[in-house]
């Protein structure tokens, strides 16, 4: 009998409890034997320490839910993100993507000779989240996990990448970040592929099991697409976790 694999997209942060309570309730309904958590593959023996670290860092919404769930339920908890992820990020700082982005753009927007197009592109970029999702804190788990939300993520990411490329290409002050940005973009694609590959490896390792994959919902559509393309795999892939849409076999 084949495994059932649920792909559950979440947020790493939310000021309300909608996502966390939804995730806890969902785990109780699915009752998985195995939970795959979005942390580097090499932390196999340090999963609980990793959960604690996520919580202490302020991005542990999912970690808090998993720890709470494990108090009353026995599961196998495994990592599935790309090996060496944190070391890679520590070595390669992506200023225009991470913590320096706001200060870089704030300085640029203060320039009196700033081209109107640069300002317009930046305003467009800043409006994407609200345009596609409204208020982050009002989103439920159900709203993040269906085919429509997957399409939204895919198109939002394509728009954001295109705007960022235009912003850097048209702003001489941002051109030094182009190569690093491309490196980041390529690495994110490698992450998605590694995630799918590791999920498939767990599918081979375990049988007759229900597996829940917890991922940031911006990764969900890519993971689903890659799993659907997998050859010679025998599993039920649950993409609509609330039961409206359910697949029985993917081998495309």
- The domain total for the chain is 1
pTM for the model: 0.91
Neighbours of 69 (CB within 10 A): 18
Dist. CA 245–CA 182, nearest whole Å: 35
- The burial class, CB within 10 Å (0-12 / 13-18 / 19+), for 26 is buried
Which one-letter DSSP state was computed for residue 2? P
Summarize the confidence of residues 176-183 as an average pLDDT.
88
CA distances from 234 to 34, 41, 104, 228 (A): 17, 23, 48, 11
Tokens (6 digits) for 114: 């700033």
Is 100 or 60 the better-scoring residue by pLDDT?
60
Tokens (6 digits) for 57: 């860092």
What are the two backbone dihedrals, phi and then psi, of residue 8, each rounded to the nearest 5 degrees?
-115, 110
What are the two backbone dihedrals, phi and then psi, of residue 183, each rounded to the nearest 5 degrees?
-65, -45
- The burial class, CB within 10 Å (0-12 / 13-18 / 19+), for 186 is exposed
Is 106 or 250 the better-scoring residue by pLDDT?
106
* pLDDT per position as a tens digit, 16-29: 999 999 999 999 99
Neighbours of 176 (CB within 10 A): 11
- Domain boundaries, position 240: 1-252
Predicted confidence at residue 99, as pLDDT, reads 63
């Amino acid at each position: 009998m084949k495994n059932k694999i649920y792909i559950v997209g979440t947020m790493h942060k939310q000021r309300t409890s909608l996502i966390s309570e939804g995730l806890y309730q969902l785990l109780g309904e699915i009752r998985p034997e195995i939970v795959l958590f979005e942390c580097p593959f090499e932390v196999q023996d340090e999963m609980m320490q990793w959960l604690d670290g996520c919580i202490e860092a302020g991005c542990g919404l999912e970690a808090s839910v998993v720890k709470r769930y494990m108090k009353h339920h026995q599961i196998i908890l495994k990592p599935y993100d790309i090996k060496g992820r944190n070391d890679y990020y520590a070595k390669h700082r992506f200023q225009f993507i991470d913590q320096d982005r706001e200060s870089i753009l704030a300085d640029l927007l203060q320039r009196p000779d700033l081209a109107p197009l640069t300002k317009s592109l930046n305003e467009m970029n800043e409006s994407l989240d609200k345009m596609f999702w409204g208020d982050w804190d009002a989103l439920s788990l159900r709203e993040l996990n269906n085919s429509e939300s997957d399409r939204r993520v895919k198109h939002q990411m394509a728009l954001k990448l295109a705007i960022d490329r235009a912003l850097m290409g048209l702003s001489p002050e941002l051109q030094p970040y182009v190569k690093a940005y491309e490196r980041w973009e390529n690495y994110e694609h490698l992450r998605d592929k590694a995630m799918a590959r590791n999920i498939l490896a767990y599918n081979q390792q375990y049988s007759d099991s229900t597996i829940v994959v917890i991922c940031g919902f911006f990764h969900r559509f890519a993971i689903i697409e890659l799993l659907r393309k997998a050859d010679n795999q025998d599993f039920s892939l649950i993409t609509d976790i609330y039961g409206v849409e359910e697949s029985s076999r993917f081998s495309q």
